Structure 1
Amino acid sequence: MNLFQGIQTNNFFLIQDEKEIHHCIHVTRHKINDEILVTDFNGMIIKARIVKISKEEIQTEIISTYVEHKLSAKITIGISLAQSSDRFEWFLEKVTEIGVDKVVPLICKRTENTKNKLERWQKIILASSKQCLRPTLLTISEPIKFSEIFKTSQPEQRYICHCEDSTLPYIGKMYQPEKEVLVLIGPEGDFTNDEIEMAKSSKFKEASLGKERLRMETAGVVASVILKTISNIQ
């Protein structure tokens, strides 16, 4: 069943975005009395029936709740931009599916690609959310310099994952799923020693994602899977 974005008004859900209307009528070819899924990405996906179609809007009547967001402690991943834009976009798709709440793109000492593609990233997140029937949108910020992350509001639970020390404790053994968390992932070539020390001085705990050496975007996905899996089984 197709998912469309709209706004809720009492017992009705209105689809008013021009692209959404076009997709509903001309691509998926829905008509009056068809059942579709609608959401405003505020935590619910609604099953609804189309009752009116016009050029300005599609009006649907709410039938029932289809998916409801399960509240859990917020997961934020601060991650370096990738050398390849495609790899970073792949990362965004996957963490949207996994259920990460926020991504903060970082410009680190060894970050090679510093292009800001926020509008494109938001479109990718929206498309991925609709495809996997996610009732909330992952939030992504403008890219910031690594040092700026320490000037933002931070949760009590925060980790920096790197490969400089093979004896670091596994993040899955330290993570407390009842608390919000911020995890930092470095670029190709990893964080510099100065960046690691900067994080430690801001009370970030050093952590490992396992014995394997991972690409940047893979590390971001692995960290997300570890945290979300532990959160889901609580």
Structure 2
Amino acid sequence: MQLFYNSNLDLSISQFTFPAEESKHIVKVLRKKEGDMVYITNGVGYIFDARIIVADPKRCKVEIVNTTKKHPKRYHLHMVVAPTKMNDRFEWFLEKATEIGVHEITPIICDRSERKVIKQERMQKVIQSAMKQSLQAYLPKLNKAISFKDYMKEPQDGLLFIAHCDDGEKMELKRRVAPDKDITILIGPEGDFSGKEIDTALKTGFLPVSLGENRLRTETAAIFACTVVTIINNG
């Protein structure tokens, strides 16, 4: 099964024409022909089973023959992560977090961030590709990059955690996470959060957590945190 994505699909649509690039992929690469089935998600929980009625490599047309609604998870995982200096490492995080099952991602610009600008469109494509590859019906929400200071002004709810490298009492993340609870986890840049940022987060209600004895890269820490939350909720 290969999954395609189009955000415009809804229950009112009975026929759909793929754009040129995807039409070429379906007809020329996958060698699909009239009568073959393809599958599409709109990223908000629906999987559409579609039969090809026009196998044109420029305008492949399908008819929707069945629709399935995938129920959302009972928890919401929001990863707030500082972009890494190397772009490909942050893209790797986006890809793997999507495959694991993150629901929302916010790039956060911190005092020690070496990368302060991200390519939103490029990052969105990485997430879409990972969603399709992992056959998921929900597209994670990618928020625009925001400064740490401004993010701390936003309303917060659910379980709030910050993973940092400073000394102090911390409980392991796996002992803090509770099933079926909304969770937000802050992961800092390569140079970690500044002392001021840590103090601000703690005063805002974020609890300090440990991700283990080893010091992890930003993207590794973020993936580890995603995995812990997912295992506890799906175990």
Is the TM value for this pair above 0.5? Answer: yes
Match of 2:21 among 19, 22, 31: 19
Once residues 44 and 15 of structure 2 are traced to their aligned partners in structure 1, the CA distance between those partners, rounded to angstroms, is 13
Bigger mean CA deviation after superposition, 94-103 or 20-29:
20-29
Deviation larger for 196-205 or 164-173: 164-173
Give 1:164-183 correspondences, 5 Å limit. Answer: 164-165=166-167, 167-183=169-185
Correspondence for 2:86: 84
1:158 aligns to what SS in structure 2?
strand
The root-mean-square deviation of aligned C-alpha atoms, in Å, is: 2.0
Amino acid corresponding to residue 200 of structure 1 in structure 2 = L
Counterpart for residue 199 of structure 1 = 201
% identical aligned pairs:
35
Deviation string, structure 1 residues 81-108 (Cα, Å, up to 9, x no partner): 1010010000000000011001100111
Q: Does 1:5 align with 2:5?
A: yes
The offset of 1:157, in angstroms, is: 1.3
The CA deviation string for residues 157-213 of structure 1, in whole angstroms up to 9 with x for no partner, is 101111212641011111122221110001112111111001011011111111221
Contact 1:103 1:141 in 2 (8 A): yes
| 8 A contact 1:81–1:111 mirrored in 2 | yes
- Cα contact 2:50–2:62 (8 A) shared by 1: no
What's the offset of the Cα at 1:156? Answer: 2.9
Secondary structure at 2:171 match in 1: coil
Shift of 1:53: 4.2
In structure 1, the partner of 2:159 is 157
Q: Which amino acid aligns with 2:64?
A: E
The offset of 1:60, in angstroms, is 2.5
The one-letter amino acid of 1:59's match is: V
Equivalent residue number for residue 59 of structure 1:
62
Q: Structure 1 length normalisation: TM-score? A: 0.91
1:212/1:116 CA distance change after superposition, 3 Å:
same
Q: Which moved more, 1:187-196 or 1:166-175?
A: 166-175
Letter in 1 for 2:138: T
- TM-score, normalised by the number of residues in structure 2: 0.91
Rounded to whole Å, the distance in 1 between the matches of 2:153 and 2:85 is: 25
Letter in 1 for 2:5: Q
Q: How many residues align?
A: 232
